[in-house]
Structure formats: structure tokens, C-alpha cells
Amino acid sequence: MLRFSVKWVSAVVLVFLVGAAFIFCEYLIYYPAILKCAWPKLSHARGGEGSDGRPTDSTVHAMVLSDTHLLGAVGGHWFDKLRREWQMERAFQTALWLLRPEIVFILGDIFDEGKWSSQKNWEDDVRRFHRMFRHTTDTELVVLVGNHDIGFHYEMDWFKLQRFEKVFNASSTRIVTKKGVNFLLVNSVALHGDGCPICQSVEKELIKLSRELNCSLQHYPLYRESDAGCRGEDAALPEERHLLFREKYDVLSKDASQRLLQWFKPRLILSGHTHSGCEVLHDNKYPEISVPSFSWRNRNNPSFILASVSPRSYTLSKCFLPQESTVISVYSSAGAFLLLLFLAHCLVMKGLCSLCLLGKHKSM
């Protein structure tokens, strides 16, 4: 009877620990991380709040993330897909539930293999994206194109661009207006200035839109030599910050960057692509924020931007997601504890067996 009780208690403890570790790492861990985040407030002096301290109706709450890189059929291992896509889905759904943004921008590289995926694989990737980033009608989701979605400049063609635009039901270069705030979405993959047909089409559209801009969103950052001036816990690793960027590959060319600044004179630029955070001031008056990747596949500490924007002002804050190393540590600690519990169980059972044999021997 005692032996049966020990087995029962061990089984209950085992199930409890495994269940607790799983529920915490796969569901609960996102809540304390995102609960630390809040919408930044616009100062009353800059016209962001009313006399009662509440945001005016013209304030837009925008959530900005980048570089989700949903893995494809060619290079994506099934476990890598499962692990990282589940992380992004839970993080996104938790953020929507807790923060309730009015609009969400994803700054390109939605897919990892869009530039070469077959139609069948493309449709599967799109289906998974819509499942992961599902949202209510209260939130508008706006997606920008990146080089992994349609290929680098030398790889892109009309078929891949139009396939992307058809899925997301919008032109890749356009203005989205919310409460009087104009967000310019730029197909930065096509801004190489070499006269390619797609480049000419995008530049023509940008010139038409150049008088309506408030904020600019794009995948490629504007030209900068490197990340040497970038600081913060989500910046590139110290040993990578001084690596020189390649124009038209890591960043836009100098020429394309200057043309965008001259055409639009944006008060804020948001970009992705590098997978790391950075703040740059171009020409001493045009601020650019590089938004880090949203996926554990690209960095241990993903994050996203919370932006409060009005027609006259804006303010930003950064929201960090749980670190992947934390989840690994929790699972490793739980595994080590279960191993110790198993060894202790074996020792106890061995002791009980010895007592039983001893009792039988005395009775004989």
C-alpha cells in the first residue's frame, strides 16, 4: 500500500511540474512582459491630450513590428517553424488583447522564402500568417513588402510583387490615413534608381504622394555607414556594430535616401531589415527608428514599437517580449528537477523493496 502511494504521489508531482512549466512558458510568460508596456502619452503642450488628461480623438495608437520571417518549405525545419511561429502568435495575440492598438504595421520580410516559393508553398505560408496574426475589426493590419517577400532588387518581378499585393489587398506604395495622420508606406526594395520598370512605377507614385506625408514606414533603413552609433539592449552585438553596411543590400543607397528625404521631409521614419534596434538622425532633423525583429529566430530579445501619433506630434516607446533564453532556462530547470525527482523516487522504491524482502525473511 505504501509503495502504491509513493508511485501515485510521484506521478501527480510529475504531471503538475510538466504542466506548470508548459503553461508558463507557452502562455503565461507573455503577460507579465507585455503588461509592463503602455501607450506613451503625448504632452499637453504639444497638443496630444485634452484638459482632462485623456488623449484627444486625433491620437492614433499604432503598434509597429518587423521581420517576422515565417519559414518556408525549403529551408524551414518543422520544429523551428513550430517553436518560433508559436512564439510570434502568442506574443501578437497577447499584445492585441492587452494593448488594443488601432492599427498594426509590419515592416516587411513577412515571409522568409517568398522570393522563391512556389504557388502552393506561398498559399500555405499566407494561410499560416493569417492564422498567427488574426485580429478583430477594431484593429487594422497593414503590411509592407520586404526583400524576402519578393526578392532583392535583382530578383523581384511583377509576378511576385502583384502576388504580394493581391494577398494584402493594397498597393505596396501608398498612404494610409488614420485620424488625420498620414503614414507613407514605401516599397524600398524598388528604390534603386536604376530605371527598372518596377522602380520607375514606384518612384512615379512616390512623387505623386510627396505632399501628403506625416510618417514614413519602409523595410530598408535609409543610408548609414554602420550601426556604430546604435545603443540599447536591442542594438546589434558589439562585435557587429562597426561592420560597414552595403548600399542597396543592407541599407538604401545614399542617392535614394536623399531623394526620399527631399520629397517628403518626414517627421519620423520607421524601418526594419537589420533585425536590430537603432536611432539615427538624418541631416540633423529627420529621425529614423530601426525596429528589431519580432521573432526569436532572429534575436533572443524581440520587441516592437508602441507609437502614439497625432497630426501635430508623436511619441514612441518600446515593448520587449520574453527572451528565448528564459524559456530554455525554465524548461532546463524543470527537466533537471524531474531527473532528481526520478532518482529520488528510485531510491525510495528500492528502500521499500528492501524492507518488504526483509519482512518476508523474518516471517519465514
Pair 68, 105: CB distance under 8 Å: no
Dmax over CA atoms of the chain, in Å, equals 102
Q: Look at the chain and count its residues.
A: 364
Q: Which of these ranges, 48-62, 204-218, 234-248, has the smallest mean pLDDT?
A: 48-62
Q: Once rounded to an integer, what is the mean pLDDT over residues 143-151? A: 91
Confidence of residue 355 (pLDDT cuts 50, 70, 90): very low
Nearest alpha-carbon partner for 72 in 117, 119, 132, 107: 117
| Domain range annotation of the chain | 58-323
pLDDT tens per residue across span 227-256: 998 988 889 999 899 999 998 888 998 988
Task: Give the confidence band of 10 by pLDDT, cuts at 50, 70, 90.
Answer: low
Spell out the long-range contacts of 171-177 with Cβ–Cβ below 8 A and sequence spacing 24 or more.
Answer: 171/205, 172/144, 172/145, 172/202, 173/202, 173/205, 173/206, 173/209, 174/205, 174/209, 175/209, 175/212, 175/213, 176/103, 176/140, 176/142
Q: Which residues does residue 287 pair with via DSSP β-bridges, in sequence order?
A: 281
Domain range 58-323, its CATH number among 3.40.50.1820, 3.10.20.30, 3.40.50.300, 3.60.21.10:
3.60.21.10
Q: Nearest to residue 198, comparing CAs of 243, 150, 233?
A: 150
Residue 48 has pLDDT above 60, yes or no: no
The 10s digit of each residue's pLDDT in 57-102 is 689 999 999 999 999 888 777 888 888 899 999 999 999 999 999 9
Q: What 3-state DSSP class applies to 119?
A: helix
Q: What is the DSSP letter of 336?
A: H
Grid coordinates representing 87? 512564439
CA distance 363 to 169: 84
Question: How far apart are the C-alpha atoms of 88 and 91, rounded to whole Å?
Answer: 5
239 Cβ contact list (under 8 Å, min separation 6)? none
Q: Name the helix (H) or strand (E) containing 305.
A: strand 303-309
Between CA 133 and CA 130, with CA 102 as vertex, the angle to 5 degrees is 15
Rama region for 151: left / alpha / beta (φ>0; ψ in -120 to 50; rest)? left
Residue 9's pLDDT band (cuts 50, 70, 90):
low
The per-residue DSSP string of 190-249 comes to G---S--HHHHHHHHHHHHHTTS-SEEEESSPPP-S-STT--STTSPPTTTTTSPPPBTT
In three state form, how does the secondary structure of 43-112 look? Answer: CHHHCCECCCCCECCCCEEEEEEECCCECCCCCCCHHHHHHHHHHHHHHHHHHHHHHCCCEEEECCCCEC
Residue by residue, DSSP assigns 153-193 as: TTT--HHHHHHHHHHTTS-SSEEEEETTEEEEEE-GGG---
Give the number of other CB atoms < 10 A from CB of residue 283. 10
Mean confidence (pLDDT) of the chain: 85
| Structure confidence at residue 352 as a pLDDT band (50, 70, 90) | low
The single residue listed with the C-alpha cell 535583382 is: 154
Quick one: CA torsion of 24, 30, 33, 39, rounded to 10 degrees? -150
